[in-house]
Structure 1
Amino acid sequence: MIGELIEKEQISSFKIVAANEDRTQTFLETLKGALRLGNEFKSKTTIAFQTEAGPKRVETTVWSLTDKYLQIKSGVLIPLRSILAIEY
């Protein structure tokens, strides 16, 4: 998968920026699946996203999903337009 693996606690030390291509619609069903896995089964998802320092990725549980963001533990929000890849 794309990007350097970081801990979810490190996300706030990076400035998240939009990816070159907004793939929100492409990832929508996968994101809904990740949300269900997180809420019902407490399973983790690997999310790669774009930052000013380059691509980063995190393994975490998706807590909620809106039309613009996904939320992980501790209220951390990742803009959907910054997501490069998602796997579970």
Structure 2
Amino acid sequence: MENELVVELINKEDLDKYHIVDAPVDHSSDLRRKLENALRLGNEFKSKANIVFMTDDGPKRIETTVWSLTEKYLQIKAGVLLPLSSLIAIDY
């Protein structure tokens, strides 16, 4: 049986209270397809994604709509950017 990591859910409006750092392992290329799907779901259906990323305080999770995606960042509401290198997981 695999142990599931419980990650603290934070409000996306509180992201500025955290120092976002690179994840121990760069998952960005592995997550690319999921990120593109989350972008499409957000733009076409206003669906939210669960995004787990690394901070100085350990992994955190937000539920949000992905607004745009670049080579190095994903953008959420209010122009907030999350570096892809900080991502641990994404689910929708």
Shared fold per TM-score greater than 0.5: yes
**Counterpart position of 2:58:** 54
2:75 is the counterpart of 1:82 = no
Separation in 2 of the partners of 1:50 and 1:9? 16
Separation in 2 of the partners of 1:78 and 1:67? 11
2:16 is the counterpart of 1:16 = no
Deviations 1:5-26 (A, max 9, x none): 0000011110000000001110
Deviation for aligned residue 1:40: 0.5
Q: Secondary structure at the match of 2:41?
A: helix
TM-score computed with the length of structure 1 as normaliser: 0.97
Q: Secondary structure at the match of 1:46?
A: strand
Structure 1: gaps spanning 5 or more residues: none
Say which is worse superposed, 11-20 or 1-10, in terms of deviation: 1-10
Query: Which aligned runs of 4 or more in structure 1 are off by greater than 2 angstroms?
Result: none
| Number of matched pairs | 88
**Counterpart position of 2:41:** 37
RMSD: 0.9
Equivalent pairs: percent with the same residue?
58
Q: Secondary structure at the match of 2:19?
A: coil
TM-score computed with the length of structure 2 as normaliser: 0.93
Structure 2: gaps spanning 5 or more residues: none
